Chain A
Amino acid sequence: MDLAASLGLVAPEIVLSLSGLVLLLLAAWGGDKGARVISVAACVALGGAFALVAPSVCTGASGPDTVAFGGQFRADAFAGLAKLMIFAASGAVLVVAPRFFERLDSMRAEIPVLVLFAALGMSIMVSATDLVTLYIGLELNSLSAYVLAALLRNDERSAEAGLKYFVLGGLASGILLFGMSLTYGFAGTTNFGGIAVAVSDGLSIGQMFGLTFVLAGLAFKISAAPFHMWTPDVYEGAPTPVTMFFASAPKVAAIALLARVSLEAFGSQAGAWQQIVIFAALLSIVIGALGAIGQQNVKRLLAYSSINNVGFILIGLAAGTADGASAMLVYLAIYVVMTVGSFIAVLLMRDADGNAVEGISDLAGLSTTRPALAWCLMALMFSLAGIPPLFGFWGKFVVFQAAVEADLVALAAIGIAASVIGAFYYIKIVKVMFFDEPADTVKGAADTPHWALLAICALLISPLGYLLTGWLGSLADMAAASLALAF
């Protein structure tokens, strides 16, 4: 394949890198005054990349035409759908971030640039078909994320979050690199296609170790139990728009990446990684549910909720089929909407002076003081708990359907029974908002972009969302079909 065709396939990434670099220069010379303009420009860049990716998703691009740079990179429909989610979530972050940081007087011009580079890194991650490309994308995303977590320099919690994220993220990268080097050593190649050929007649001990370390490193990135410990602290400490970013886009990227490594590179050895994924899935569901019960802080609670949700997504992966991958993508799409919606609701929690409040007890009686916010948050909570007729149920439905079709009935039964534990804390939030006497702390006025985004999220997860099931399902099916499954 010639260079021109390859460059054509990475057009969205090129748009993102060039605009990132230009905006970085503007930020360096223009200072923080132009932060808002840079935010808007970054949004436009993300929109452009979104538009460039969309056709490949709608047509279900797959096959050798989507391979760029000699097998380093693939712009197929699977990567495309993940990219759409990543760009949309990053765009939502850019819409809410300036207002949050301006209130704290720390809106800096590099914020949108960092988000842009993080999005670029994720975009490379989901398209990676080589361990080296994978690592470059992952690190580009991680380095931007470390800085974003520590953005509020005067806030101890933010600095702590940044440091924790950096140290533990570095450890995870180390584990991942170790696994990659073992894989390279025992498979003789870093290319996914090559690995698939090398492992097609059984895993050697070294390859098995390599696979295990790679999965452990990636489990860190998606905050699946037992590698979840950093999540609550980082989510609580990081500025709320940044937490919203961490909980949405990088999850999509890392899970898509995990799916590609498992299904493409090690697809013929499904039995080997299935056990690990099932273990991580069930443990994440249980730990995410139990850990959330005692929490007093909404952001910490949502952190555990995201661990819990990752568990359900992994059930789709554990199925090890194209249906499972498709179910996973559907769940991810719904999960991104629910997460963005929940964090916007958290952003709307402000006291009379405009300071953010994050305690669950501050939500008391919200249904009488701020009914619209309370009803939206209630819908989001029931949706996260997977109670029909809200759309969150559909995500759980498809992953469990995939698991049952793959004959993993026991896994599905245990997983869904454990989801009841999770329902407990979601309905606790509803209880605080609807049953308790008003605490009347949440008073601050909100602005239109927040409400608009919240309304979009609420509308998507409302029963009306079911009208999208056909469309979303067929996109996800095409995306899953484009994965070069090595069966």
Chain B
Amino acid sequence: MGDFPILTAMLVVPLIGAIACLFLDAKPARMVALLATLIDLALGIVLWANFDIGGAQWQFTERANLFAGFEYALGIDGIALMLIMLSVFLMPICIGASWEAITKRVGEYMCAFLVMETLMIGVFAAQDIFLFYIFFEAGLIPMYLIIGVWGGQNRIYAAYKFFLYTLLGSVLMLIAMLWMVNFANGETSIPVLMETNFPAEAQTWLWLAFFASFAVKMPMWPVHTWLPDAHVQAPTAGSVILAGVLLKLGGYGFIRFSLPMFPDASADFGWLVWGLSMVAVVVTSLIALVQHDMKKLIAYSSVAHMAIVTVGLFAFNVQGLEGAMMVMLGHGLVSGALFLCVGVIYDRLHTREIDRYGGLSINMPAYAVLFMLFTMASVGLPGTSNFVGEFLSLAGIYQANSWVAFICTTGIILGAAYMLYLYRRICFGEQKNADAAAMPDLSVREWLLLGPIAAAVLWMGVYPESFLAPMRSDIQILDARLAAAAPEGDAHLEIGEGASAQEEHHEGEAH
């Protein structure tokens, strides 16, 4: 690889594409956007191939002293690598999903998406705390435009809500960051700050300031209400990127900032996270059960899945952390795919009302098969991506608190209920609507969108080691950092006095 600044290249390629799209007509803009995202995907694959598993913690580091007050510093560890891969994998699919659905102001639309890609990669690759903040916050602008310009009927309300909610969440984080940098004598590097021990009393409010931001992004109950609105009103590709990658920013924030930088406060506030997650799992799953709008249903299911992520993160053990990462990756693929599935039939009938469909397995068999796969993956069927993550997360939290594990596991059952109920109403039963019964099956373009995700979902379910291996050492480092603060588990196992060898021998004989 040499010294080729691959991370900078991954930032610059979509940015150039974005600027070009602004000046192009619809057709060339689509081509440019697809090309830019595919180049980024190729660069991402090169990045993964060259990532030295078990090597240095931070790889592909770049540093340039361009600014005052903070540095242009990039670099990734295994966790960031996986999330970058998720972003670059979903981006070409998003462009493909918008190929025919978006007809007005195509150039600007593609520009917004490419800028989004740059910013997402930037968030995961930033090694300077303020550079991270800039990328993190800047995502508001393109997403505001995507929801507001190309969204559905109630798009303006949704765009406002998205913007102001997430902005309010993150401004306090900036003050906390300024305080931390001031405390660390002007050190802005994330790796250094991750090893800085902040005083315990300061950790409390620093943690709360970061929590305000990440909880909104995540989103955790009760600050999740922006998500269903934003999802429902965003165009299909917007929903995919929102569910697939943007929701991961919150989890990434927890794993990169809250946990390693404030381990004591994280342990102190573990009950808060657990409590909110338990409520979220049960309440949002029940809400999802009664939705009439497909996108809203999937949006609420996202909140429930993200709650599994947060309990995994705050289980303070390796299983929990690995599980949380795997749920994030799996959910990124599966919820993205589910939104695409909704998009496929929405493009044909222009309604998201569940009752307007029915019996689609008759006229759209291929669609029904793929939709079934993603439904099962969302439920967490073994062999699919989400099973691995959910199992590990729940196994992790079980060590910390079995009651939390018990309540969160009901989410899996409720998840099966609402997803299978959704699937039954859409794909099975009578074909009660003539127009829905006349819809053609998947086109080649739609196959190309859903096929790769299906393959990745199965890959992650059957051989998760490919995805766990790059993250393993980083998670161990994090676990070691958390070890001192980790709360004691509630399972007080008492190792019984084993029967003496003689007695056992006797018993054996008696049989």
Contact = CB atoms under 8 A, between A and B. Distances in A.
Contacts of A405: 178, 182
Contacts of B141: 382, 387
Contacts of A367: 105, 108
A332 interface: no
A469 interface: yes
A393 B170 CA distance: 13
A431 B175 contact: no
Given A409-B179, A416-B174, 12 more contacts: A367-B105, A397-B69, A400-B174, A401-B182, A412-B175, A417-B171, A420-B164, A427-B163, A431-B148, A435-B156, A435-B159, A470-B68
A420 B171 contact: yes
Contacts, number: 91
Interface in B113-146: 130, 133-135, 137-138, 140-141, 144-145
B269 interface: no
Given A388-B134, A431-B160, A470-B68, A420 B175 contact: no
Contacts of A473: 68-69
Contact of A423 (B108, B134, B163): B163
Contacts of B163: 423, 427
9 contacts: A367-B105, A367-B108, A387-B141, A393-B137, A404-B182, A417-B172, A420-B168, A466-B66, A470-B67
Contacts of A474: 68
A182 interface: no
A160 B6 CA distance: 61
Contacts of B66: 466-467, 470
Contacts of A431: 148, 156, 159-160
Nearest to A423: B167
B426 to A, nearest CB: 31
A398 B209 CA distance: 19
A434 interface: yes
A430 B144 CA distance: 10
A427 B67 contact: no
A17 interface: no
A369 to B, nearest CB: 12
A292 to B, nearest CB: 15
Nearest to B104: A368
A28 interface: no
Nearest to B179: A404
A389 interface: yes
B170 to A, nearest CB: 10
Interface residues of B, number: 34
Interface string A115-151: 0000000000000000000000000000000000000
Q: Is the interface of A mostly helix, strand, loop or mixed?
A: helix
B155 interface: yes
Contact of A409 (B108, B134, B140, B175): B175
B138 to A, nearest CB: 5
Interface in A453-487: 466-467, 469-470, 472-474
A387 B137 contact: yes
A427 B166 CA distance: 14
Contacts of B160: 424, 427, 431
A398 B178 CA distance: 10
A388 B133 contact: yes
A467 B69 CA distance: 12
A280 B330 CA distance: 51
Nearest to A427: B163
B102 interface: no
A413 interface: yes
A419 interface: yes
Interface string B193-227: 00000000000000001000000000000000000
A401 B178 contact: yes
A467 B67 contact: yes
Contacts of B156: 431, 435
A387 B145 CA distance: 14
A473 B137 CA distance: 23
Contacts of B140: 387
B204 to A, nearest CB: 13
Contact of B134 (A393, A430, A435): A393
A388 B138 contact: yes
Contacts of A389: 134-135, 138
Contacts of B178: 400-401, 404-405, 412
Contacts of A423: 163-164, 167
Contacts of A401: 69, 178, 182
Nearest to B65: A470
Interface in B63-82: 66-69
Contacts of A382: 141
Contacts of B159: 431, 435
Contact of A424 (B133, B164, B175): B164
B362 interface: no
A466 B131 CA distance: 11
B279 interface: no
A470 B68 CA distance: 4
A118 B440 CA distance: 73
A412 B174 CA distance: 10
Q: Looking at B130, B140, B141, which has the most chain A CB atoms within 10 Å of its CB?
A: B141
Nearest to B134: A388
B171 A419 contact: yes
Contacts of B148: 431, 434-435
